[in-house]
Every structure is written in C-alpha cells, then in structure tokens.
Amino acid sequence: MSPLVELAGSAAAIALMVGAAAVLGFRASAKLDEAELARLADAEHAAIRAAAIDAKGRSALALLDNGKLLAAKVMADGVSARVAQPEQVRLRARAGKLHVTFGDVGYPSLHMKLAEPPPWLAELAGGTR
C-alpha cells in the first residue's frame, strides 16, 4: 500500500474521531454558580456565609458557617472541591486577582480574577500566612 493511501486513511480516521467527539460534546464544561456552591457546601453539612466566584465561573472560594473555607475549581466537565481551615490556606490579593494556595500539594492552586475582592476576603487575605 502506498504511503499516501495510508496517510489519507489515517487522516480520515482522525477526522471521524474528532467529528464524533464534537457531536458528543467534548467541549462541554461545567460552570460554578451560587447554586453549585450551595450544593457543595451542603455535602459538607455546612452553609455558605459568604462567597466569591471568579468572572469566568471557573473557580470560587466560600466561607462556610463552620469557619472553614470551601474552594471549588472547574476541571473539564466537573467541579472539584476542597474544604480547609483558614490557617491551611495562603491567600494573596493584588490588582483584581486572588491567588489561593493550599498547605498540601494535593489540590491545585486557585487563580481568580475579581473586580474587587469582597471585604471578608480582603480581611482573610491580610490575616493568613
């Protein structure tokens, strides 16, 4: 078989797979909103006292009524969440951006764009390590 025929067959197979993925919705992505945060908090048997969601709805940080922080991040078509004590989280707020780093490396850092951090978040960023 000629190399050109093999190349054409491979290209057709790839095009077929990409087309099938597009039809099945491989570009679908989850969004974070107040309702999703409330659902995540409820799974932890807590309620949200205050929350900040980034402009794109891809990451969020919430203060729970038990004093813990709930961090949520969109990963592919789902949402991953982490609950931690405020002492286990490092917050840095600068020029409309918030960077949240966790004491363990098991959860990726959050990088959020906020027009202006809410007062509770600015206070927490100033009071954590």
- The three-state DSSP-derived secondary structure of the chain is CCHHHHHHHHHHHHHHHHHHHHHHCCCCCCCCCHHHHHHHHHHCCCCEEEEEECCCCCEEEEEECCCCEEEEEEECCEEEEEEECHHHEEEEEECCEEEEEECCCCCCCEEEECCCCCHHHHHHHHHCC
Q: How confident is the model at residue 65 (pLDDT cuts 50, 70, 90)?
A: very high
Q: Same domain for 50 and 17?
A: no
Q: Same domain for 48 and 83?
A: yes
Nearest to 26 by CA among 85, 92, 77: 77
Q: By the 8 A CB rule, do 112 and 69 touch? A: no
Q: How confident is the model at residue 109 (pLDDT cuts 50, 70, 90)?
A: confident
Q: Same domain for 40 and 95?
A: yes
Predicted confidence (pLDDT) per residue in 8-42, tens digit: 999 999 999 998 887 877 666 778 899 999 999 99
Q: Same domain for 43 and 90?
A: yes
Nearest to 103 by CA among 116, 86, 120: 86
pLDDT of res. 127: 53
Q: Same domain for 47 and 95?
A: yes
Q: Same domain for 3 and 47?
A: no
73: containing domain: 34-127
Q: Same domain for 69 and 113?
A: yes
Does residue 61 have a pLDDT over 90?
Answer: yes
Q: Same domain for 20 and 45?
A: no
Mean pLDDT of 109-118: 85
Looking at the structure of the chain, the number of domains it has is: 2
pLDDT more than 70, % of the chain: 95
Q: Same domain for 9 and 67?
A: no
Task: Give the predicted TM-score (pTM) of the model.
Answer: 0.73
pLDDT of res. 28: 62
